[in-house]
Amino acid sequence: MALRLGPTIDERRGIEYHELRTESLIGKLNARPMPFGWTVNPYRGCEMGCHYCFARYTHEFLGLADPDAFERTIYVKQVDRSRLVRELRKARKSGQTVALGTATDPYQPAEGRFEVTRRILEAAGEVPGLRLSITTKSSLVTRDAELLCAIAGVSEVTVNLSITTADAALARRLEPRAPRPDLRFGAMRTLADAGVSTRLFIMPILPGLTDHEANLRALMAAAREAGAGDAESNVLFLRSGTRETFMRFLAIEFPRLVPEYERLYRGSAYARPDYV
């Protein structure tokens, strides 16, 4: 990996953006069965700083052991247009879904400057017949509403808006630099009005914080009002690298919940089956 790490190409808000040369932008999924077969992550690291993000461990592959580096040192992947089109054609031939944003948000603030996701979508527009899924917390996705509508005319595309809580104050504590929930629902409405299929992702559901019925009902009602076709959810996954960061956050912000999380996640990255 060291040979692929390029120089600093921008600095702002206390965050460094580095170039990352990649052999292939699209990865074939060979792990446990998932509802997609290919993944695309335009960036490594994510500025949004969600305390529960499962992908924090990925920076360890770059030799960055500091948990905060995941949200302060962002790697911007290069895009070779012709190669990307070839890889997308290969994915189309497989008939499996290409998932954009499975680890880091493709519309995080860096996208406004570097437009890697935009170039990926432009390439996708050259490969009719794709099955494309995009997951984001950002209202920046509306920038590409016209392009996504065009892709939807020749391919199957769904934009998943990840919204964990309808409470803006709680969202700010959990997801410090992500857009407010109402802005995400607004983005959902804009996309739906443009003819782009949208879905609500309640991921993750956080025990004791976002799992109460009032919140879940509020999220689904708002999503239906905003034109979403359906909703999916999953309970918090606390793997190593995320567990330490999240438990540190809980101890500071919600100390009363620490014993319950220790009970629910004792000896496992998954919550107890009876809770799930």
pLDDT (tens digit per residue) in 162-184: 999 999 999 999 999 999 999 99
Residue 9: its pLDDT value, please? 66
Digitized pLDDT (tens) for each residue of the chain, 276 residues in all: 656 666 676 677 789 998 988 877 888 877 666 677 798 999 989 999 999 998 887 756 566 667 678 888 899 998 889 999 999 999 999 999 999 998 899 999 999 999 999 999 999 999 999 999 999 999 999 999 999 999 999 999 999 999 999 999 999 999 999 999 999 999 999 999 999 999 999 999 999 999 999 999 999 999 999 999 999 999 999 998 899 999 999 999 999 999 999 999 999 999 999 999
Long-range contacts at 88-91 (CB < 8 A, ≥ 24 apart) = 88/26, 88/123, 88/124, 88/126, 88/127, 88/130, 89/127, 91/26, 91/37, 91/38, 91/130
Task: Encode 241-257: b = buried (16+ Cβ within 10 Å), e = exposed.
Answer: bbbebbbeebeeebeeb
User: Taking all residues of the chain, what is their mean pLDDT, rounded to a whole number?
Assistant: 91
Among the listed residues 61, 104, 59, 76, the one whose alpha carbon sits nearest the alpha carbon of residue 17: 76
- How far from each other are the two terminal CA atoms of the chain, in whole angstroms? 38
